[in-house]
Structure 1
Amino acid sequence: MSSISKSALAALYPQHLEILQQRTAEALQRGGFDHLVVPSGTLHYQFFDDRDYPYAVNPQFKHWAPLIRNPGSWLVVTPGRRPTLIYLQPFDYWHVVPEEPNGYWTEHFDIVVIRTPDEAQQHLPGDVARCAILGEPQSGIGEFAPNNPPTVISYLEYHRAFKTPYEIALMREASRIGARAHRAAERAFRGGASEFGIHLVYCQAALQDANDLPYGNIVALNEHGAVLHYMNRDRLPPKETRSFLIDAGASFNGYASDITRTYAFNRNGEFQALINAVDNAQQAMCAQVRAGFDYRQLHLDAHLAIARILHDFRLINVTPEVAVETGVSSAFFPHGIGHGIGLQVHDVAGFAESDRGGTLPKPAGHPYLRLTRVLEPGMAVTIEPGLYFIDMLLEELKDKGLGPSVNWDRVAAFKPFGGIRIEDDVVCTDGDPINLTREQFAAV
């Protein structure tokens, strides 16, 4: 059950729609088009089979309305007019038919209900050449094949980084659902559940399953925490439970939360102390989400912070500065500090130089960073430092002649715990950042 009222969303939505209309008018003017046409997407079927993959709505479509289970529908936006929603409500006794459009947003659209996908053509603009059609190729119908003009997409995706108050409200609700489920998952871990059992507890607490969650849950016990995207989920609990890393989010009206926490079974042991050190550093990184701050620098600062922890816990034999310079820190922290988040878990235009295109480079030696822009008010990002004990990367240090930089006895003592990652969703403002994750953990 949502904690945000429909009246609150109704109050926030008109401003959101007005901003989307302004952005669309500018994008179309730049591209030389009169209409924005967005299909919601269609079902994909498995090769040599009649089973469909889970439907994923076109993000450009759900940006306008909270419709996430409506394949075969269309949106038409013409500057100066109310947007038109062409809503597929088929005659179908095999599946649940979408109910009539309803809610706080419907009064702002001209809504046409169709019964078959082909009927959409008669309600689309007359001149297809004047349409910017954004979607995947198989969403096309008749002459209306997606052309995805780069000028239009560059502008819309660049500005999608700046969330409206309506969007932040939806993301806050997604964070609330995720925080509630994370609490339940921790209880299951401390009760001795298996990875698969913890995953089921999480889904039950979130009231979401694989078709609803924004990404596949990472539920890793013990050394499995060293696999960054661990997905196996053992059905039986380990003989000894030492640690638990969970990276799992939730969805609300098409928007995502992305949350990671790490726990030690022994709350008084050295691994818990290491978690506490990473947690403190992570909160300091979240405080750096300030207008005008280069996200690339935040990533580099995070490496120095992790290297200091490695040094403090006697895991490395060199100074933090040397560990960063030589790449030793990257063996323990191999991924980026985070990414944009919103309609997609890894939101678009993370490298965009401007709304006309171009690319902002990643720092040398850091290939996995997903965001290189300067932070501005309205941007929502994740902050997710990690510290792992990954055999492959540690062996590479030896191959590079950097073995003496590492205290291998200390590493061996920590390897059975896998690793640590802590991740929050943070909104940049004109002042102090808003940590959506921490505020919701404090409330549940």
Structure 2
Amino acid sequence: MNDALAALYPQHLATLRERTDTALARGGFEHLVVPAGRPITKFLDDQDYPFIVNPHFKHWLPLVDAPGSWLVYTPGEKPKLVFLQPRDYWHVVPEAPTGYWVDHFDIVVVRKAADAIAELPGLARSAVIGDQHCGLQDIVANNPPEVIDHLHYHRAFKTPYELELMREASRRGTRGHRAAERAFREGASELGIHQAYLAAVGQLDAELPYASIVGLNEHGAVLHYTNFDRSAPADSRSFLIDAGASASGYASDITRTYAGKNAGEFQALIDSVDAAEQSFVARVRAGQSYPELHVHAHHVLAGVLREHGFIRMSAESAVESGVSSAFFPHGLGHGIGMQVHDVGGFQAAETGGTIAKPEGHPYLRLTRKLEAGMVVTIEPGIYFIDMLLAELKDKPFSGDIDWARVDAFRKYGGIRIEDDVVCTASEPENLTRDAFALL
């Protein structure tokens, strides 16, 4: 894989330089300065939370564990890495940078965090992108909107180098999903399933792009369920797992739902949602409005609800009345890349602005029109959430819902199927299904 990355990296770097040149010119800045960041210390403690690198830092180079380091870029000059390699016998000291990318940088090694100041350009003329944890008290990130807006808008378009890393993240994630399914079939607890997932992926919790969702039975109805029961239920009727993996800071985001033994009615519903999901994936084309695809998904899923006997109303009535939103209460998906919910999803143009969410759909995370190079998730679902279903019972259309049928499915929790999909100039590339096929 490194040979492929080595061949693709120069073009990736050239693309970042071009974007940054334009962004700096718009903001009237001469330099881009990006801190990797530093670990955050826990309140009233001397222990740190796991380090999470600044995404603007790892966009340039595949370093995700280099706290206290800095990236400096000046148009027309070679990018510079100020690499902190402290004298420290308490912790493992980072190895000196090596790999396919190092020859593209001027690398300066410093032993103390404060020594980096001498290696940075004049900050009054620099766009410093980071949070309040830059690593040096004397340096404050200014995050100029003119620069941020341009970079975030174009970050939606992945370079071939980035796509190769996302393919690897998908391959790692699908290995974990296969191991998790096996653990479920063998009767493991939620914690046991998650441990099997981590072992197969080869990553720690802190290295994953987001906290894994591992829900058995009714827990599948909790959209962000992260509790991990230590004991297995007496009867594992259903299993929903939403878990990803990382590759040099790039994410995969994969969800699958499985029926247990003697749950044929639930498996039939899974199959219908899976078929619907694949039909939505097929619409990931240049020019497709993502909000329109989201609303289309509501109509299709309402048809699934009717087909399986949960509702008696038409799909159109189910969407207009909000019934479909009670069963499918989240967005169809989002952009993905260095962050699992990538930035710029609502941005109207490279100069800023916002594209509003469609009325009645407050949780949609992406409102842009799809273009070649974008990577999005497609993750429809049908859930049996007590709180949302209770709100329907007092509505005039309550009689059009088969409550006995609904009640029979509460024990399964819910269904979500999620793939990561590349929008291309022609057929979409399904990173997730391709990775599963390789297994």
Is the structural similarity TM-score above 0.5?
yes
> 1:138, CA displacement in angstroms?
2.6
**From 266, 286, 295, the counterpart of 2:290:** 295
Q: Deviations over 1:124-177 (max 9, x none)?
A: 01x211100000123153643110001100000000000000000000000000
Contact 1:135/1:146, CA 8 A, preserved across alignment: yes
Residue 52 (structure 2) pairs with residue 59 (structure 1): no
Q: Distance in 2 between matches of 1:24 and 1:77?
A: 9
Counterpart of 1:9 (choices 5, 10, 20) is 5
The answer to whether 1:49 aligns with 2:30 is: no
* Match of residue 429, structure 2, among 400, 409, 434: 434
Residues 324-383 of structure 1: per-residue CA shift (max 9 Å, x gap): 010000000000000000000000010000010000000000000000000000000000
Aligned ranges 1:112-127 → 2 under 5 Å = 112-125=108-121, 127=122
Partner Cα distance (1:268, 1:42) in 2: 49
Distance 1:61 1:18 in 2: 15
| Pairs within 5 Å for 1:312-323 | 312-323=307-318
Q: Is the 1:266–1:272 Cα contact (8 Å) retained in structure 2?
A: no
Show the counterpart of 1:234: 229
Report the Cα distance in structure 2 between the residues aligned to 1:246 and 1:142, rounded to whole angstroms: 41
Q: Are the aligned partners of 2:236 and 2:260 in contact in 1 as well (CA < 8 Å)?
A: yes
Q: Distance in 2 between matches of 1:136 and 1:248?
A: 27
- Name the residue aligned to 1:394: 389
The answer (yes or no) to whether the contact 1:121–1:142 under 8 Å persists in 2 is no
Indicate the residue corresponding to 1:31 in structure 2: 27
**Is contact 2:85-2:95 (8 Å) kept?**
yes
8 Å CA contact 1:37–1:132 kept in 2: the answer is yes
Q: Distance in 1 between matches of 2:412 and 2:133?
A: 45
1:355 aligns with 2:346: no
For 1:331, give the aligned amino acid. A
What amino acid is the match of 1:214?
P
1:83 and 2:79 correspond: yes
Matched residue, 1:309: 304
In 2, Cα distance between the equivalents of 1:44 and 1:137?
10
2:321 and 2:291 map into 1 onto residues whose CA distance is 18
Q: What value does the CA root-mean-square deviation take over the aligned residues?
A: 0.9
Aligned to 1:163: 158
Which residue of structure 1 lines up, in the alignment, with residue 218 of structure 2?
223
1:111 aligns with 2:107: yes
Aligned residue in 2 for 1:278: 273
Structure 1 unaligned spans of 5+: none
Segment of structure 1 superposing worse, 327-336 or 206-215: 206-215
TM-score, normalised to structure 1's length? 0.98
In the alignment, which residue of structure 1 is the partner of 2:246?
251
Residue number in structure 1 paired with 2:418: 423
Q: Is the Cα contact below 8 Å between 2:299 and 2:316 reproduced in 1? A: yes
- 1:330 corresponds to 2:313: no
Structure 2 CA distance for aligned equivalents of residues 51 and 34 of structure 1:
38
- The one of 365, 381, 385 aligned to 2:376: 381
Q: Give the whole-Å Cα distance in 2 for the aligned partners of 1:440 and 1:210.
A: 21
2-structure distance, mates of 1:188, 1:144: 49
Q: Give the distance between the partners of 2:436 and 2:236, measured in 1 at CA.
A: 24
* In structure 2, C-alpha distance between the alignment counterparts of 1:336 and 1:180, rounded to whole Å: 26
Separation (CA, whole Å) in 2 of partners of 1:34 and 1:436: 38
Flag the 1:232–1:353 CA change in 2: closer, same or farther, 3 A. same
| CA contact 2:237–2:263 (8 Å) conserved in 1 | no
Partners of 2:139 and 2:31 lie apart in 1 by: 12
Report the equivalent of 1:372. 367
CA distance in 1, matches of 2:434, 2:14: 29
Distance 1:80 1:418, change over 3 A: same
Secondary structure at the counterpart of residue 104 of structure 1: coil
Partners of 1:267 and 1:157 in 2: how far apart? 48
Does 1:96 find its partner at 2:106? no
Deviation at 1:266, TM superposition (A): 2.8
Secondary structure of 1:204's counterpart equals: helix
**Does the residue aligned with 2:393 lie in a helix, a strand or coil?**
helix
> In 2, Cα distance between the equivalents of 1:153 and 1:405?
49
- Which residue of structure 1 lines up, in the alignment, with residue 209 of structure 2? 214
Alpha-carbon distance, 1:231 to partner: 1.0
Q: Specify the SS of the correspondent of 2:391.
A: helix
Compared with structure 1, are the counterparts of its residues 37 and 267 closer, same or farther at alpha carbon in structure 2 (3 Å cutoff)? farther
Contact 1:328–1:405 under 8 Å retained in 2:
no
- Match for 2:195 among 200, 207, 229? 200
Q: Kindly indicate whether the alpha-carbon contact (under 8 Å) linking 2:38 and 2:135 is maintained by their aligned counterparts in 1.
A: no
Question: 1:45-102 CA deviation, whole Å, 9 max, x = no partner?
Answer: 1111111111100000000001001110000000101000000000011111000100
Percent identity of the aligned residues?
Answer: 63
Structure 2 residue 402 is matched with structure 1 residue 407: yes
Decide whether aligned partners of structure 1 residues 142 and 268 sit closer, same or farther in structure 2, where only a CA change above 3 A counts: closer
Q: Secondary structure at the match of 2:133?
A: helix
Corresponding residue SS for 1:282:
helix
